[in-house]
A and B are shown apart, each in its own frame.
Chain A
């Protein structure tokens, strides 16, 4: 029944490690997103894919690499983790990337990443 799901829910790791977060949506949406929410609760977009094609790539360190094997999945791989990467990462999806009526975004439950 879960519309947008993410795994894992919690991720605790050491600095310098590489980790991945997975996201899946069963809404039939074409567009998926990754957001980062910092300790001050500020939510900021990182990437967006539309039908497996990258359409938004914010100013994010290239240690972060999204991958979309199909339009229902968007994974986030992070290399050489740093303390400042600690945050909650949310995946979201929408019917389309823009235009009235199709860009309402629905969020997954989030992955709390803690880098020690």
Chain B
């Protein structure tokens, strides 16, 4: 079992819709969770992080964390073509800042 799992996609949504990206992790002791966006040929860019159970909102983005289910998700409201990218879920292992990444979900927002 991979430590962090995501559906690789591609996930295709129409412009203006809500995109829902999901991630599960295996280490129940994990405390910190991150969502990165990576455009093709570019570096990962941090868009959200969440530490506590529940929802955290930042503009059009909402991160959701359920530690009991070992599940973290990212919702993108009013999706735009510029949101088309690969979204990487990452979980922080307590030792030394080690981030474990999922394989990424490719999102395509169609005009």
User: What residues of chain A have their CB less than 8 Å away from a CB belonging to chain B?
Assistant: 31, 33, 40-45, 48, 50, 55-56, 90, 94, 96-98, 100, 103-110
Contacts and interface: CB of A to CB of B under 8 A. Distances in A.
Interface size class of B (residues with CB under 8 A): 20 to 34
Which has the most chain A C-beta neighbours within 10 Å: B43, B86, B97, B104? B97
Contact of A107 (B43, B49, B103, B104): B43
B78 interface: no
8 contacts: A41-B103, A42-B104, A56-B95, A98-B97, A103-B92, A104-B46, A105-B34, A106-B46
Contacts, number: 64
A96 B96 CA distance: 9
Interface of B: 31-32, 34, 36, 38, 42-46, 49, 51, 86, 88, 92, 94-101, 103-104
Contact of B98 (A45, A104, A110): A45
B84 to A, nearest CB: 15
Given A103-B32, A103-B92, A108 B97 contact: no
